[in-house]
Amino acid sequence: MRNWLLPEYIEDVLPAEASQIESLRRSLLDLLDVHGYQLVIPPMMEYLESLITGVAHDLDIATFKVVDQLTGRLMGIRADITPQAARIDAHMLNNQGVTRLCYAGSVLRTNPDGLAHTRQPMQLGAELFGHSGIEADIEIQRLMVKTLKAAGIKGLQIDFSHVGIFESLMSKVDASESLKQSIYQALQSKDQTEVRALTKHLDAVTRQALCRLTELNGDSTVLAIAAKELPKTTEITNALRDLLQVASALEDLDVSLSFDFAELRGYHYHSGMVFAAYAKGCSGPLAFGGRYDEVGQAFGRARSATGFSMDLRGLITTLPALCIKKGILAPYGNDKSLFNKISELRESGEKVVQELPGHDEYKQELDCDRGLVNEAGQWKVVTI
């Protein structure tokens, strides 16, 4: 086996793409910072129970496991930074009021996913802890839209759902966890025939409502239809009220809003409203998020929580390639005035590459379109 080969779906990020990712990371973290979101940098590895306790089974199977040589305990390489942010809020910061955190870092997954179809996404996100009201959801959703627009994404569509509706329907019946999981999967694929077959032993009202979820999707008018046709439980009424309030709160952002009651992304993880951002021509979501009030309990302190995340590597696949700024080629030498000129140019933001002896025939590889020349004792930048 060739030593330079990498595992499947694990790739080097080469200069052009790396520059675009890093430029995007810096600008988006600056945007999150001015909105009051404090940067945290959690570790790549933790004891496994910290990474997957209280979260979806899907995250468990997505996590690489290793044995800690110091303790013999099982550790995991993070597949998602969100639970780490929840741990930091619940156990490390211990704030009593609202906490806003953001992060950007690589995660590792056992299988490729996302727009970049990689096992090593670069995850950037924001989380808001400590407020259970719809105001926190709206803040996070507006921030997600601003973040994607700042990245250069146009024609955004935000797709909403609410896991509380499904939970309310299933809480009224005696169904095993296995049956719930099967119904959930059938809803995700909008397979009404399968939903009907799986619910044949349930009461008629619940069965009809679950089948109807596969059809309840569209613009905000579907909310009124859902309110009329779904059982009027407190949970469903509150969920529809929150979705209607969100539709009103995002009107000024120039984005298209849609609602899909069968889309239960992260059902085992989320506890309320869920959402995902799409754009024309993209094969999958650019960002997604939702409310997850139960996760902090695993770390000893239950906290209301909502947030969103995105993969920067996937995001740049939807953007035009970044035009990398070319540099200035400086000759090799120990002249003090040359060093001063190079320093002056670099301080002004110019990229200056100084030649080394013996590489003249390869200077085009340095990607410079200008050069430093000495004219009458003065160093000047000229086109080359």
Burial 289-299 (b: 16+ CB within 10 A, else e): bbbbbbbbebb
> Tell me, what's the pLDDT at 330?
97
Residues 210 and 194 in one domain: yes
- What is the layout of strands, in order, in the sheet containing 305-311? 38-39, 99-106, 122-129, 305-311, 287-291, 273-279, 156-162, 256-260, 217-218
Residues 205 and 259 in one domain: yes
Cβ-based neighbour number of residue 92 at 10 Å: 11
Residues 194 and 260 in one domain: yes
> Tell me, what's the pLDDT at 241?
97
Burial 340-356 (b: 16+ CB within 10 A, else e): ebbeebeeeeeebbebe
Amino acid at 32: L
> Tell me, what's the pLDDT at 323?
83
> Tell me, what's the pLDDT at 298?
67
> Where are the alpha helices (H) located in 284-352, listed in sequence order?
312-316, 336-347
> Tell me, what's the pLDDT at 57?
64
Owning domain of residue 182: 156-279
Residues 265 and 229 in one domain: yes
> CA nearest 32: which of 125, 134, 129?
125
Q: Which residues of the chain register pLDDT less than 50?
A: none
Instruction: Please enumerate in sequence order all residues whose Cβ is within 8 A of that of 295, keeping only pairs 6 or more positions apart, or say none.
Output: 54, 55, 82, 83, 86, 269, 305
Instruction: Please enumerate in sequence order all residues whose Cβ is within 8 A of that of 277, keeping only pairs 6 or more positions apart, or say none.
Output: 144, 145, 148, 153, 156, 157, 158, 159, 285, 286, 287, 288, 310
238: domain CATH number? 3.30.930.10
| Residue count of the chain | 384
pLDDT tens figures, 231-248: 999 999 999 999 999 999
Residues 15 and 44 in one domain: yes
> Tell me, what's the pLDDT at 54?
62
> Tell me, what's the pLDDT at 321?
86
Residues 319 and 268 in one domain: no
Contact (Cβ atoms closer than 8 angstroms) between residue 51 and residue 78: yes
Residues 127 and 164 in one domain: no
Can you tell me which residue has the tokens 């998020």?
289
Label the pairing between strands 156-162 and 64-67.
Answer: unpaired
> In the beta sheet, which residues pair with residue 273?
162
User: What does pTM read for this prediction?
Assistant: 0.91
Residues 333 and 290 in one domain: no
Domain boundary among 279, 310, 345: 279
Residues 178 and 145 in one domain: no
SS3 319: coil
Residues 303 and 221 in one domain: no
SS3 272: coil
Residues 34 and 139 in one domain: yes
Q: C-alpha dihedral over 85, 89, 90, 92, to 10 degrees?
A: 100
Count the domains in the chain.
3
Residues 227 and 141 in one domain: no
